[in-house]
C-alpha cells in the first residue's frame, strides 16, 4: 500500500484574516477545502494511507474528515511544538504502516500543482533513489532557493536565494513534493526542529546519497498569499490545472443554493458559496465569495476574497481585497488593493474612496 504525508501544520499568517480560525489547507478552493483536492490527487496516485502532519488548530482536520467515506485510511500526527518540515515528517513517520523499504510520498499542504504523482514515484523506484524531489522551472528564480541537477537528474546542491544574476545558475526550484525512502525518513532527528531544505537535503547530497530531481514545467503555484490563493482557485475552476474534484472546466462555480441575479456577471473562475446572494448588476471576477455572503446591487469584486457571512453594499468596488468573516462594508466604498479587513469589521457607506473625494476613514465596531 502506498503511503503519504501531507504537511499541514503552518499558521498561514500571510493569508490572515482568513486563517485566524481556519488552517490554510481547510480554506475553500474551487468549492471545497484545498486539502480535499490534495487527498483526491493522492488517491488517484494509488495512495491508501495518508498521515496529516498537523499543529495549528489540529482538531479541525479530524472534524473535516470525520465522515470521509472514501477508500482511504487517515491518521493524524500532532506537533505540540514547531518541528520544522523535517521534524514534522519524522513525527508523522511514526504512524506509517508500510515496510521499511517502501517509499513515502510527501506533499506541502499549500502547493497547487499539476505534477503526475505516479510519474514521480515511478522515477524514484526506477533510480533506486534515497530522495526524489519534484522540481519546477520558474521564469524568475530570484525569490527561491535553487536546485541544480546534472544530466542524469541527480541533485548537485541546494542553493540559497540568488542575490545577483550570476548566482542564477538554474531556473529549477523545490516544488514542495518529495518521495523519501523510509531509511532517510527514519534517520531525521526526532523531537527537535529540522528543516529538510536547509539541513536534511544538503547533508544527503554532501554524503553522496542518491538524491534526484523530477523536473517538470507543469502548473505550479504556492497558495500562501491572497492573490495566489484566489488565482489558484480560479485556475482549478477554469481548468488551467486539474483536480479529480472539479469535473469539468467552467467560467464560474456557483453553489446550487446560491442566488445570483440574472443581470449579474460571475466570471474568471470565480466561486460563489452556499446560500450567497448576488444582486443585480454585480460583477464578480476571478474571486471567491463565501457562504451566506450578500453582495448588493452594482458592486464589483475583482481578484478578491469575501469570507463567509459578510455583506458588501451597493456600488462598492473591491480589487485584490480580503474581507474577513462577518464583516459589513457599506454602500459606495472603494477599497484599496491589498487591503485586508478583519473579521467583524464595519465600514460605513462612503467610508473609503481611494479615487474619489470622500475622506478615507474606517470605523471598527
CA dist 284 → 15, 260, 288, 315, 335 (Å): 20, 11, 8, 12, 15
Q: Which of 41, 161, 163, 247 is catalytic?
A: 161
CATH of domain 2-226: 3.90.550.10
User: What is the rounded average pLDDT of the residues 339-355?
Assistant: 88
Q: How confident is the model at residue 355 (pLDDT cuts 50, 70, 90)?
A: low
User: What is the rounded average pLDDT of the residues 330-335?
Assistant: 94
pLDDT for 107 beyond 70: yes
Given a contact cutoff of 8 angstroms between Cβ atoms, the answer to whether 213 and 149 are in contact is: yes
* Residues facing residue 181 across a β-bridge: none
Is 161 tagged catalytic? yes
Burial of 354 (0-12, 13-18, 19+ CB in 10 A): middle
CA atoms of 219 and 119, how far apart (whole Å) = 15
CA atoms of 250 and 77, how far apart (whole Å) = 37
CATH architecture group of domain 251-347 = 3 Solenoid (2.160)
φ, ψ dihedrals at 29, nearest 5°:
-130, 120
Mean pLDDT, the chain, whole residue set: 92
Residues 6 or more apart whose Cβ sits within 8 Å of residue 166: none
pLDDT tens-place string over residues 267-303: 999 999 999 999 999 999 999 999 999 999 999 999 9
User: What is the rounded average pLDDT of the residues 60-64?
Assistant: 93
pTM: 0.91
* Residues facing residue 146 across a β-bridge: 159, 173
Place of cell 531556473: 171
- What does the domain layout of the chain look like in residue ranges? 2-226, 251-347
User: What is the rounded average pLDDT of the residues 323-350?
Assistant: 94
* Residues facing residue 300 across a β-bridge: 283, 317
User: What is the rounded average pLDDT of the residues 6-27?
Assistant: 93
| Cβ neighbours, 10 Å, residue 267 | 15
Q: Quick one: what percent of the chain has pLDDT higher than 90?
A: 79
CA angle 80, 85, 86 (to 5 degrees): 95
User: What is the rounded average pLDDT of the residues 55-60?
Assistant: 92
Amino acid at each position: 500500500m502506498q503511503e503519504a504525508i501531507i504537511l499541514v501544520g503552518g499558521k498561514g499568517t500571510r493569508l490572515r484574516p482568513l486563517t485566524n480560525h481556519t488552517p490554510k489547507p481547510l480554506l475553500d478552493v474551487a468549492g471545497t477545502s484545498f486539502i480535499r483536492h490534495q487527498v483526491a490527487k493522492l488517491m488517484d496516485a494509488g495512495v491508501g494511507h495518508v498521515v496529516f502532519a498537523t499543529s495549528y488548530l489540529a482538531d479541525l482536520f479530524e472534524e473535516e474528515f470525520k465522515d470521509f467515506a472514501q477508500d482511504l485510511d487517515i491518521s493524524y500526527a500532532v506537533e505540540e511544538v514547531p518541528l520544522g518540515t523535517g521534524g514534522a515528517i519524522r513525527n508523522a513517520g511514526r504512524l506509517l504502516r508500510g515496510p521499511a523499504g517502501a517509499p513515502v510520498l510527501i506533499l506541502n499542504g499549500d502547493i497547487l500543482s499539476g505534477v503526475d504523482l505516479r510519474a514521480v514515484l515511478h522515477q524514484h523506484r526506477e533510480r533506486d533513489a534515497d530522495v526524489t524531489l519534484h522540481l519546477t522551472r520558474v521564469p524568475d528564480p530570484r525569490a527561491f532557493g535553487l536546485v541544480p541537477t546534472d544530466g542524469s537528474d541527480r541533485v548537485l546542491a541546494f542553493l540559497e536565494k540568488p542575490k545577483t544574476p550570476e548566482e542564477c545558475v538554474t531556473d529549477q526550484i523545490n516544488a514542495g513534493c518529495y518521495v523519501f525512502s523510509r531509511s532517510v525518513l527514519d534517520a531525521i532527528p526526532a523531537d527537535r526542529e529540522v528543516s529538510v531544505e536547509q539541513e536534511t537535503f544538503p547533508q544527503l547530497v554532501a554524503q553522496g546519497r542518491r538524491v534526484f530531481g523530477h523536473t517538470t514545467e507543469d502548473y505550479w503555484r504556492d497558495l500562501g498569499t491572497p492573490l495566489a490563493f484566489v488565482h489558484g482557485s480560479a485556475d482549478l475552476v477554469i481548468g488551467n490545472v486539474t483536480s479529480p474534484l472539479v469535473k469539468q472546466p467552467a467560467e464560474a462555480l456557483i453553489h446550487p443554493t446560491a442566488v445570483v441575479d440574472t443581470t449579474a456577471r460571475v466570471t474568471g473562475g470565480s466561486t460563489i458559496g452556499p446560500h450567497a446572494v448576488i444582486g443585480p448588476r454585480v460583477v464578480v471576477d476571478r474571486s471567491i465569495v463565501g457562504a451566506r455572503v450578500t453582495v448588493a446591487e452594482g458592486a464589483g469584486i475583482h481578484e478578491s476574497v469575501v469570507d463567509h457571512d459578510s455583506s458588501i453594499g451597493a456600488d462598492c468596488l473591491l480589487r485584490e481585497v480580503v474581507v474577513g468573516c462577518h464583516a459589513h462594508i457599506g454602500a459606495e466604498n472603494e477599497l484599496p488593493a491589498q487591503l485586508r479587513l478583519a473579521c467583524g469589521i464595519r465600514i460605513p457607506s462612503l467610508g473609503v474612496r481611494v479615487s474619489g473625494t470622500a475622506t478615507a476613514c474606517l470605523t471598527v465596531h
